[in-house]
Amino acid sequence: MPRLLLVALLAVPAAPAPAHAAPGASSTPAYMRGGETVPVYDYADAVRESVWVQTTGDADEDGEPDRVAVDLVRPRTEPGVRVPVIMDASPYYACCGRGNESELKEYDANGVISKAPLFYDNYFVPRGYAFAAVDLSGTNRSTGCEDVGGPHEVAGARAVVDWLNGRAPAFTADGSPAVATWTTGRVGMIGKSWDGSVANGVAATGVEGLETIVPIAAISSWYDYTRANGALRSTNYPSFLQSAVSGRVASCTAVTRSLATDSAEETGDYNAFWRDRDYRPAASRVRASVFVVHGVNDLNVTTPQFARWWDELARRGVPRKIWLHQAGHVDPFDLRRGAWVDALHRWFDRWLQGLENGVEREPRATVETAPGVFTDARDWPLPAARPVSAPLGAGVVSYTDESLPEDLAVAHPGAMVPGRVAVRYGPLTAPLRLSGSPSVRLRVRVDRPTTQLTARLVDYGTAPRIQYAWGEGVRTLETESCWGESTAADDACYLDVAQEVSTTDHAVLTRGWQDAAHHVTLRRTTPLRPDRWYTITVPIGAYDATVAAGHTLAVVLTQSDPGYTAAANTGATVEVDLARSTLILPVAGAVTLAPSAAAPHTAHGLTAPARPQRRLP
């Protein structure tokens, strides 16, 4: 799980000179004025075209190299002026749509892109950028196979960067060669969820020409997306994802078989299949700057995805920035629209146009500290944050697996609820700022070879809070706002969105899960013996929040968690030596935490609710 890493402000490379014109042309393109790009090109007159970039693979084993479809919208510039590219590589352009309004690609009668989802083309093309909407391998108009975060998917998207830099061939629909003479070769990848995940993967290849990525609610390890430290989050998930986005499953026998059999669902082990889909170990190859955006209450792509990736990038001094908000799986365009468009504009101007706008010298982190309240910080986790250890108490308590639904598991922390142990700290005499990745280290004895260990941090106290659970914490309004220029086929206007806020008496801050038999390593199981005590750490998802003075913080321990994982109820009874167990919190500021009470119970007999629904990343 993510480690609490305190990082000083790191030096970043000097901005590249804005060299976009051919010899003899003006050194400053018309779209650059006053240190920023401005809209000078007619969006309605933009060049719209499609090319198919050839990759080095043949995932569908048809004897031909796979080709990735790229739909381009680019300004009709003056002779000699070249432009950088904003690229969104996605599996969703035909099946599921992009953005809050689930927009799909649309084509004219000649098969040329007439509508690209999202506002990127509407806003940035008039400002001297091209936009590339890329169908991931095996989706929409691309050939090959969708291998769910794997080598074929990443290689296909990387090939587009190579083509834009003259290193890979591409063809038009009639088979004619296509050469990208109109671009500087500087590429920025952006996208939410799966789209942002492939941006992480391509950056981890170190491909030259990829200057920046903006991963929003993105995956950095597909193992951690489908597993929770050895525990299944959902069964048969890779195969489900492939079938949801690809119409070429029947042509991809080998890949489809691998997704079903090589993912080690029967053990939950981390193996070669998952190493191929883990981008973090290759963080040392990243050349691109990185602008991370994530919701601290994202229950789909959970917070270790950004936190571990962020830590790895920090170790290597990668130029980076982070926005954290309190909603769930949400794009910042649907949360803080004006500020987001401005921040993204300045970020792309800096890293793709080479404009010295000082963005890299600004505070590295922006964090939503209360609903609608965003504050800047020098870094994240907060530089003042330190790990604080809090004992769980004294004596030995036990609890038997009851497959508790979350609302019952966290209700009434002082009550005796079968199947849980709740340890309380407080009421707090001063505000407690958490910033980073908590964990709980348990000294346990288990009467089964394994069980799932679940831990939650809960804030008990009345406060206004964003209602993120499964509704993501936002609602769509009837008004709309426009961001860029429009055509009859592709308008730049989107329904406005507001946060869902209500006052509640408690909230789960963050959660963590650990399969007990994977406590030694995720690469294999180590079954527990009922006569032995073990020290097992349950990592808890990264978080940033302030628990108010007068509130009570609690750690709630349960076992199987039917609302969030697919782990079976083993019927195990877990004994916890409280005196030798510790809650470790990343705390900014001086604080002393002592447990005020523990409420264990060993009775059982509750009925488990239905398993969680599968979700697309």
Asked if residue 604 is part of any domain, the answer here is yes
255: domain CATH number? 3.40.50.1820
Degrees to nearest 5, angle at CA 548 with 546 and 553: 85
Bridge partners of residue 56, in order along the sequence: none
DSSP for residue 129: -
Q: Can you give the pLDDT at residue 597?
A: 61
What is the rounded CA–CA span in Å between residue 421 and residue 170?
60
Instruction: Mark 384-419 as b/e (b = at least 16 C-beta within 10 Å).
Output: ebbebebbbbeebbebbbbbbbbebbbbebeeebbb
Annotate 479-536 with three-state secondary structure: EEEECCCCCCCCCCEEEEEEECEEEEEEEEEEEEEEEHHHCCCCCCCCCCCCCCCEEE
Whether the per-residue pLDDT at 18 is higher than 60: the answer is no
Residues 6+ apart with CB under 8 A from 583: 389, 390, 391, 392, 423, 438, 439, 440, 555, 593
Kindly indicate the confidence band of residue 22, based on its pLDDT and cuts at 50, 70 and 90. very low
Structural tokens at position 194:
């799966």
> Is 42 part of the annotated catalytic residue set?
no
What is the rounded CA–CA span in Å between residue 475 and residue 195?
23
First to last CA, the chain: 20
What is the rounded CA–CA span in Å between residue 369 and residue 366?
9
Asked if residue 11 is part of any domain, the answer here is no
Give percent helix, percent strand, percent coil of the chain, each to the nearest 5. Answer: 20, 35, 50
Asked if residue 16 is part of any domain, the answer here is no
**Pairing of β 83-90 and β 183-192:** parallel
pLDDT in tens, 508-558: 999 999 999 999 999 999 999 999 999 999 999 999 999 999 999 999 999
DSSP, collapsed to helix, strand or coil, labels residue 194 as helix
Average of pLDDT values for 405-427?
93
Asked if residue 83 is part of any domain, the answer here is yes
Asked if residue 343 is part of any domain, the answer here is yes
**Active-site annotation holder among 294, 329, 519, 551:** 329
Kindly indicate the confidence band of residue 604, based on its pLDDT and cuts at 50, 70 and 90. very low
Whether the per-residue pLDDT at 2 is higher than 90: the answer is no
Q: Can you give the pLDDT at residue 589?
A: 85
Instruction: Mark 153-166 as b/e (b = at least 16 C-beta within 10 Å).
Output: bbbbbbbbbbbbbe
> Is 551 part of the annotated catalytic residue set?
no
Average of pLDDT values for 257-266?
94
Average of pLDDT values for 239-250?
95
User: How many domains does the chain divide into?
Assistant: 1
Whether the per-residue pLDDT at 167 is higher than 80: the answer is yes
Lowest-pLDDT range of 10-24, 167-181, 440-454:
10-24
Q: Can you give the pLDDT at residue 617?
A: 83
Cα 79 to Cα 25, 72, 181: the distances in Å are 8, 19, 11
Q: Which of 97, 38, 7 is nearest to 381 (CA)?
A: 7
> Is 519 part of the annotated catalytic residue set?
no
From the CB of residue 281, how many other CB atoms can be counted at a distance below 10 Å?
Answer: 11
Domain that holds residue 386: 1-6+36-617
Asked if residue 559 is part of any domain, the answer here is yes
Whether the per-residue pLDDT at 21 is higher than 70: the answer is no
Mean pLDDT of the chain, nearest integer: 92
Structural tokens at position 182:
């109109």
Average of pLDDT values for 560-588?
96
**Active-site annotation holder among 114, 137, 142, 193:** 193
Q: Can you give the pLDDT at residue 596?
A: 80
DSSP, collapsed to helix, strand or coil, labels residue 461 as strand
Average of pLDDT values for 175-193?
97
Asked if residue 12 is part of any domain, the answer here is no
**Active-site annotation holder among 195, 298, 331, 459:** 298
- Predicted TM-score (pTM) of the model is 0.92
Asked if residue 467 is part of any domain, the answer here is yes
